[in-house]
A = this chain, B = another copy of it.
Amino acid sequence: MAPVDRLGQQLAFLREVEKLKSVYRSTPLADGSRKENSGEHSWTLALYALVLADQAGPDVDVAKAVRMLLIHDLVEIDVGDVPLHSQNGLAHGAADIVLAEAAAAKRIFGLLPPDLAQEMLETWHEFEDAQTPTARYAKSLDRVQPPVLNMLGDGGSWLEYDVTLEQIDTRIAPKVALTLPNVWQRVRAEIAQWFSAHGRI
């Protein structure tokens, strides 16, 4: 069993992805028992992509969005999760993190046979670049689920980072409102109600 044969490479990758289950995000689970990890987060987003497919524009490839969301956070095995609201919203998307994530993508997808590695790397970059309708759909879902989960608990990462409704409108709303207007209108109304009910506006 040479370690470099095709099936060996596929299984090596599938062993590596197990590590994402130990990368924790800032959002607690609905029952508050622990923080959400990036593996189960990715699973939830794939379900969002399937269930909200009728909210996607006609140019969105939903099956590809599912594949994108399943792999979009694998780079966090090397780089960790960078919470959207951490460092007053400045850490997310910082240049050094973008570089580190690209290197991580090369290493992790590089465990796969070349054809699969290239396909996944391209899909990951398409997600990161957020220029195609499919990537924008996937990215928007990645912005919608954390607020929904925060509201199932006690406010989660909003409390931890003392987030205001204004910051949500700055950091989340613009792109999501363009890509998923109906979903965002609904979730934004729920968020405003939540902030009001919890005396935060």
Residues of A at the B interface (CB closer than 8 Å) are 1, 6-8, 10-11, 13-15, 17-19, 21-22, 29-31, 33, 36-37, 39-40, 42-44, 46-48, 50-52, 54-55, 63, 66-67, 70-71, 112, 116, 145, 148-149, 152, 182-183, 186-187, 189
Given A22-B31, A37-B40: A15 in contact with B148 (beta carbons within 8 A): yes
Check if A15 sits within 8 Å of B152, measured CB to CB.
yes
Interface of A is mostly: helix
Contacts A22-B33, A66-B66; is A39 near B50 (CB within 8 Å)? Answer: no
Which residue of B6, B14, B19, B52 is within 8 Å of A148 (Cβ)?
Answer: B14
Chain B residues in 8 Å Cβ range of A31 = 19, 22
If A19-B31, A51-B116 are given as contacts, then 10 extra A-B residue pairs at C-beta distance below 8 Å, sorted by A number, are A7-B55, A7-B186, A14-B52, A15-B152, A18-B29, A18-B149, A22-B33, A43-B70, A46-B70, A47-B70
B189 contacts A1, C-beta separation under 8 Å: yes
